[in-house]
Structure 1
Amino acid sequence: MRTYRRNRRKSPPWRALAVVGLILVGGGVVYGLISRRPVNLSLIVGAEFVPEDALMAVSVSTESGQWRRLRNYGTEGSQARFQEGLTQLQDNLLAGSDYRYEEDIAPWVGDRITLAILPPPEIDESTPPEDLRADRANILILPIGNAGRLRSIVAQRQEQSGLEERNYRGVTIYEPEIDDPLSEEAANRPSTLAVVERRFLIVSQESSAVNRAVDAYRDNQSILTIPGYNQAWEALPATDLASLFVNVPDSLATLAEDSTRPLNANALETLETQGLASTIDLENEGIRFHTLSWLNPESETLLDVENSLPPTLVNRFPAATMMVMAGSNFNKLWQDYLQDSQANPFLPINGTWIRSALEQTVGVNLDNELLPWMTGEFALGLIPTARNEETTLPGSLVVMAETGDIEATETLLRRIDRAVVDRYGFEVNVEVEELGQRRLVTWDTRRKGLSVSHGWLSDSVVFFTVGSPVTEQFLPQPELSLARHSEFNDVVPREPDESNGLFFLNLNPTQVGEDGQEQSLDLPLLQLPPEQQEFLDAIEAIGVRVGFQDERSGRYDVFVKIESP
């Protein structure tokens, strides 16, 4: 007999995008620091020194071959930008000191290094003056591979920089002597160093951050004690480049303080996600992320592993499709999005605005008339304009959805048809498809090249298009579906096996022209500032697959295909 549990939900595919956003933001701090031996990274090295309230931690290889390989990815422009960013990051991490990685760190450091970002320390009447100016702090955790070389460098630096020794909980700390902790001199002081058991060197510009690292170690209150942390790494494959951990509740709480959009304090308190762990690897054609997120122990939610279904509507999209996101149960996805957007500044879409826009434009009540029947599979895609179409539009937005109530769906579509006639004077043309006698409805918008249409792909799958005329590309079936296209299959990860959502974006789409040759297509994306645009230009495609690890954790595998010079 099957046992049903309460609060069972599916992990929606849009969360993969949020996860991709976290991975890339976090990955921005891993540029750094180059040098030595090969290593297998599957954990955060020195995690015992990272306080449990750390916002994030990233552990990167010091093997020079990995970084040479990474520098060779992309275009000449993106390579130059990457090197600039790498140099700037190194300067920022070693700010306030004369340290240089190649001269002062590479000769003795171990196989990997860790960077952790800490929130500002709590302040009360007992807070020392030097901590009053402390903001978010970076700490570098460097395993000691050659203690003799380190001793000579520290001795030299101690004399040059005027570092003073002090003992904190049995750990020797070297720090600059500052008369006024709130002065400009204090803000630009050299880094504080701590040597722990001859195994690790801890470095930070904030003396209090070094103390907090020692406290985490001595009191056993590091990220190692976060529920689910160790189990997450056991479920992920090993990596040669980098490992990333994000403390989701503390990170979002800190981001909320800086957000220009007001966030719900209660939503932050009831946030269910505990953490995110990711391993990052280099492959011949790009970068692969294996990521796992898990729920906090207080959450009563259980992910619906038993009823997880792989997305199949991508079979309905033609091979030329530039972008597609597919998943199941849009109704649940929307409810989860509204809940999570109250606590996550990375989710900018305003649900209230969308409700109001639908109501005002076509008189549709989102919650009562649209969401109740959108309980099956859905897919959102961008199909490029066929080469023989006379239109200035680059493509069409296509929505496909499996309905749970055919009558309610048909009633809603007819209501929308009447609304555009009454409100905007559009003409609505109804055709009957020969195959299956299904209705195909098009709107005459009185604008050349703009087509709006809707109809049925099967007895239970409805579609809606806005943009250039593209229905002939997928009705009744595409000649070659996206799911069978080599680019899609090369980019979208095959794992996790129990997937219930995916995302695909082709940033370098092509189409066969009248001369039989492939031609590049313009992707209608917003133009970014030149620095970011050069990185975007180096990316050929992005693929994401979403699924479950178990009832308490979800998997998000991402592959970023990068152009070769």
Structure 2
Amino acid sequence: MKLRSFFTFLAVTSVAILLLGIGTFYKLLGESPLAAVTGGVTTTPTAAIFVPKTVPVMVSLLVNPDRIEAFQQVLTPPRDRPRSHAEFNQIKKTLLANTDLNYNRDIQPWLGNETTLALMTTDIDRNLKNGEQLGYLFVLSAADIQLATTTINQFWQKQQSEGVDVVSQPYKGVKLTYRQPPENGSRVLSTAIFNRFVLVANSPKLLREAINNVQASSLSLSQSPAYQQSLKQLSGSRVGLAFVNLGRWGLDWENPGVNLPAQPTLTLSIGLSPQGLLAETALVKVTDEEGKSVQPLLDEPIEAWKYITGKTGLAIAGSDLNHLWEQLSTTISRNSVLENLVNQPIAVIKEIWGLDLPSDLFSWVTGEYALAMIPPVAEQQPQKPDWIFVASRLSPQASTAVQHLDELATEEGYSVGTFELGERTLTAWTTISPLPDTVNNPDINPSVLQAKPKGVHATVGEYEIFTTSVEAMDRALNLVSEESLLDDPEFRIAFDRLPTVNDGYFFLNWSSSVGFIKQQIPLLKLLELSAKPFFDHLRSLTISSAGAVEGVAKATVFIRLK
């Protein structure tokens, strides 16, 4: 019996269940007459009583997976039902791989309406010499706790009959059952029954901590002021909820009595919309502005949108990029993992271009801005995508900053010059090189040089437009004959469902950007594999921020599904 890989499958597929589950269940409430009756799920995860305030990540599905599959089958066209059924079956098989458990026989009869996964710690034994060993806790609500208890007991009895050394011991009135750990090992399958919940962990230490959190409620996430503050702002119906600690993850959970510093946190409430998932987020920051309410900056689309084509794969737009960067830097500074994730591409750009984005670009963009990525067409692969950056020149330092960028390009070895494109004067950063094949082709004059633009920028009214090619600049300046992003049907669906009053947008067209994003973020390949059903159904993702209420920064996320 191989149980060592049980938690790897359990962690991956629990996330997949949440993503696929909420991705299909929305059809029930969005397209079914039951929407007027149910109004969605309004509960919050009860499992929060088991996890500590310092938990790095907690994800909860608040709907029974079998209800999701049943409703999905009803709403799916007959020709697509076998594929839909196969997706759910694959999740169940993966979840229980290499165990004697069978979902239909051992879990389905007693499983309730809440399934929660918590990453309790990034290293169970606090020993970096043997590598980081993630610690997981799964909390499953039981509709029939007696049947659940019987099933778990039978599972362990079968393990013993097959020669597994099983240990059962009481802890504060709760029986813990787990495999005898091998030497120098700490990751072992462990279970406990507490009231109407089945607790499963990869270490008995995590079960003991979970019980401590319940009995000393002040230690649990459910009593965290930041968590309660977030839930107060997330008042809509939901089918799933996620909590992420954006602060330091290496806290000592074995000494919960220590006064811990305040941590920035993000809570995500996932609701239902007729054409996708509509989620609300609440970010509790630890800053001097704590407790303040801030009104959003925008109440209508910014003018910079008109230079962004509708064929954009990724777009970011808003106002005051400098302030946005300052807020982001402050928030992620408490989490080294997130800080490295954000700073890595900035460091790469500085190494390649000699450009320090925060000081050379962000600092002077205090008005409107828009950044867009235009993916190459299929036949052009593997060419790189084009980028367009539009920034308001209304800040006092804008002209000096643009001139400084030209100087930096010169320092990096590029030739800086101007040329005409239609009625516009463009400045280009180019490399100069001989024409190819001058050695093999005597008809080509070796003294003839060619210039390859690496970047182009132009002043257009109140804006400075930067592009990575002349073709991209031509498209940005001539969108009269081509639809802008605001006219794109995919973006418009999301745009109409997000708050009109906001601080800006982040838009990702998944189908046209997935190839490029995988190249830039290798970790995404693993994530896509672990949650393949969700990514197979994903069309686009749009995020809109909307100021702050009592110190809680709010945003809305729309996930468009196929």
Give the TM-score taking structure 1 as reference length: 0.69
Tell me which of 223, 244, 247 is aligned to 1:225.
223
* Secondary structure at 1:110 match in 2: strand
* Secondary structure at 2:337 match in 1: coil
Report the equivalent of 2:337.
345
| Paired residue type of 1:345 | V
Q: CA deviation at 1:322?
A: 2.8
Tell me which of 471, 474, 481 is aligned to 2:473.
471
Is 1:386–1:470's contact at 8 Å kept on the other side of the alignment?
Answer: no
Gap change, CA 1:218 and 1:537, over 3 Å in 2: closer
* Secondary structure at 1:319 match in 2: coil
Whole-angstrom distance in 2 between the partners of 1:372 and 1:380: 16
The structure richer in helix per residue is 2
Tell me which of 290, 294, 297 is aligned to 1:305.
294
| Paired residue type of 1:410 | S
Structure-to-structure mapping, 1:409-424, within 5 angstroms: 409-414=398-403, 416-417=405-406, 424=413
Is 1:42–1:237's contact at 8 Å kept on the other side of the alignment?
Answer: no
Is 2:296–2:546's contact at 8 Å kept on the other side of the alignment?
Answer: no
Report the equivalent of 2:234.
236
Q: CA deviation at 1:119?
A: 1.6
Which 10-residue stretch deviates more, 349-358 or 224-233?
Answer: 349-358
Tell me which of 62, 65, 70 is aligned to 2:64.
62
Whole-angstrom distance in 2 between the partners of 1:420 and 1:120: 43
Tell me which of 304, 308, 319 is aligned to 2:310.
319
| Paired residue type of 2:324 | L
Report the equivalent of 2:559.
560
Structure-to-structure mapping, 1:384-403, within 5 angstroms: 396-403=386-393
Report the equivalent of 1:46.
47
Q: CA deviation at 1:219?
A: 0.8
Structure-to-structure mapping, 1:382-531, within 5 angstroms: 382-383=373-374, 396-405=386-395, 408-414=397-403, 416-417=405-406, 424=413, 426=415, 428-431=417-420, 439-442=425-428, 445=431, 450=453, 452-458=455-461, 460-475=462-477, 478-479=480-481, 480-492=483-495, 494-508=497-511, 524-527=516-519
Q: CA deviation at 1:475?
A: 2.4
Gap change, CA 1:492 and 1:102, over 3 Å in 2: farther
The gaps in structure 1 that reach 5 residues or longer are 1-23, 125-131, 255-268, 510-520
* Secondary structure at 2:389 match in 1: strand
**CA distances 1:168-187 after superposition (whole Å, capped 9, x unpaired):** 32x33142584xx5548985
Whole-angstrom distance in 1 between the partners of 2:183 and 2:377: 65
Q: CA deviation at 1:441?
A: 3.4
Gap change, CA 1:53 and 1:319, over 3 Å in 2: closer
Report the equivalent of 2:35.
none
Give the TM-score taking structure 2 as reference length: 0.70
| Paired residue type of 2:558 | F
Is 1:442–1:453's contact at 8 Å kept on the other side of the alignment?
Answer: yes
Whole-angstrom distance in 2 between the partners of 1:530 and 1:224: 31
Which 10-residue stretch deviates more, 212-221 or 395-404?
Answer: 395-404
Gap change, CA 1:502 and 1:223, over 3 Å in 2: same
Q: CA deviation at 1:414?
A: 4.5
Which 10-residue stretch deviates more, 374-383 or 340-349?
Answer: 340-349
Report the equivalent of 2:245.
247
Whole-angstrom distance in 2 between the partners of 1:110 and 1:432: 65
Report the equivalent of 1:206.
203
Structure-to-structure mapping, 1:89-168, within 5 angstroms: 89-91=95-97, 98-119=100-121, 135-154=133-152, 156-157=154-155, 159-161=157-159, 166-168=169-171
Whole-angstrom distance in 1 between the partners of 2:418 and 2:375: 23
**CA distances 1:76-113 after superposition (whole Å, capped 9, x unpaired):** 9999788655533444xxx7x64333322221232222
Whole-angstrom distance in 2 between the partners of 1:412 and 1:504: 27
Q: CA deviation at 1:380?
A: 0.7
Tell me which of 323, 340, 353 is aligned to 1:332.
323
Please provide the CA RMSD for this pair. Answer: 4.8
The gaps in structure 2 that reach 5 residues or longer are 1-11, 29-37, 161-165, 252-259, 433-449
**CA distances 1:117-153 after superposition (whole Å, capped 9, x unpaired):** 21278989xxxxxxx9995432222323224423543
Gap change, CA 1:478 and 1:226, over 3 Å in 2: farther
| Paired residue type of 1:104 | D
**CA distances 1:241-270 after superposition (whole Å, capped 9, x unpaired):** 3221223325x447xxxxxxxxxxxxxx98
Whole-angstrom distance in 1 between the partners of 2:403 and 2:171: 74
Is 1:115–1:138's contact at 8 Å kept on the other side of the alignment?
Answer: yes
| Paired residue type of 1:119 | T
Report the equivalent of 1:262.
none
Is 1:391–1:449's contact at 8 Å kept on the other side of the alignment?
Answer: no
Is 1:26–1:244's contact at 8 Å kept on the other side of the alignment?
Answer: no
Q: CA deviation at 1:224?
A: 1.0
Is 1:326–1:503's contact at 8 Å kept on the other side of the alignment?
Answer: yes
Is 1:321–1:383's contact at 8 Å kept on the other side of the alignment?
Answer: yes
**CA distances 1:344-395 after superposition (whole Å, capped 9, x unpaired):** 4242434455456554xxxx776666444321121111246799xx999565
**CA distances 1:443-480 after superposition (whole Å, capped 9, x unpaired):** 5655688574322232x321111125133333265443
Is 1:70–1:282's contact at 8 Å kept on the other side of the alignment?
Answer: no
| Paired residue type of 2:552 | S
Gap change, CA 1:384 and 1:88, over 3 Å in 2: closer
Tell me which of 86, 93, 113 is aligned to 1:87.
93
Q: CA deviation at 1:499?
A: 1.5
Structure-to-structure mapping, 1:513-552, within 5 angstroms: 524-527=516-519, 532=528, 539-552=538-551
Gap change, CA 1:279 and 1:100, over 3 Å in 2: farther
Gap change, CA 1:300 and 1:143, over 3 Å in 2: same
* Secondary structure at 2:115 match in 1: strand
Report the equivalent of 1:5.
none
Whole-angstrom distance in 2 between the partners of 1:405 and 1:557: 29
**CA distances 1:318-342 after superposition (whole Å, capped 9, x unpaired):** 3233321112222233444555555
**CA distances 1:420-455 after superposition (whole Å, capped 9, x unpaired):** 679757472344975xxx744345655688574322
Which 10-residue stretch deviates more, 156-165 or 67-76?
Answer: 67-76
Is 1:175–1:192's contact at 8 Å kept on the other side of the alignment?
Answer: yes
